[in-house]
Amino acid sequence: MAKPSTVSKAALDKMSRDELLKLRKSVDDAIRNSEKQAKKDALAAAQKAAAQFGFSLDELSGGKKPASAPKSAPKYANPADATQTWTGRGRQPAWIKEALASGKKLEDMAI
């Protein structure tokens, strides 16, 4: 790693606002790049350590988790448009509300 150059307080005081903003952006970019590299290095070290014991990192960590819970199967369908379905969870869709308001029962729309 290259030795960072030092900027004295006196040098900072002489810089214009635009120069300071450019310097700040450069520092922020350097910090982001350093964090990315540190994460890569940590991952490589963890994978190497797992491999020494005959495992992959996914095996030890339980693998990748799904981003969200699986979707529930639909329980109700719109009689007028079978592509519109509802699982029975969460807010009722407008077509369910309209059907119930017109006197239909929820069981009438069960799949």
According to the model, what pLDDT value does residue 61 have? 84
According to the model, what pLDDT value does residue 82 have? 87
> What percentage of the chain carries pLDDT values higher than 70?
89
**Over 70: is that where the pLDDT of 2 sits?**
no
Please give the average per-residue pLDDT across 72-89, as a whole number: 91
Please give the average per-residue pLDDT across 5-28, as a whole number: 92
Give 30's pLDDT tier (boundaries 50, 70, 90): very high
CATH class of domain segment(s) 76-109:
few secondary structures
Please give the average per-residue pLDDT across 58-80, as a whole number: 80
| Rounded Cα gap, residues 109 and 95, in angstroms | 10
**Over 70: is that where the pLDDT of 25 sits?**
yes
pTM, rounded to two decimals: 0.46
CB 80 within 8 A of CB 93: no
Q: In Å, what is the CA distance from 29 to each residue of 2, 11, 32? A: 16, 21, 5
Residue ranges, CATH 4.10.430, the chain: 76-109
For 63-111, the DSSP string reads SPPPSSPPPPPP-EE-SS-TT-EE-S-SSPPHHHHHHHHTT--GGGGB-
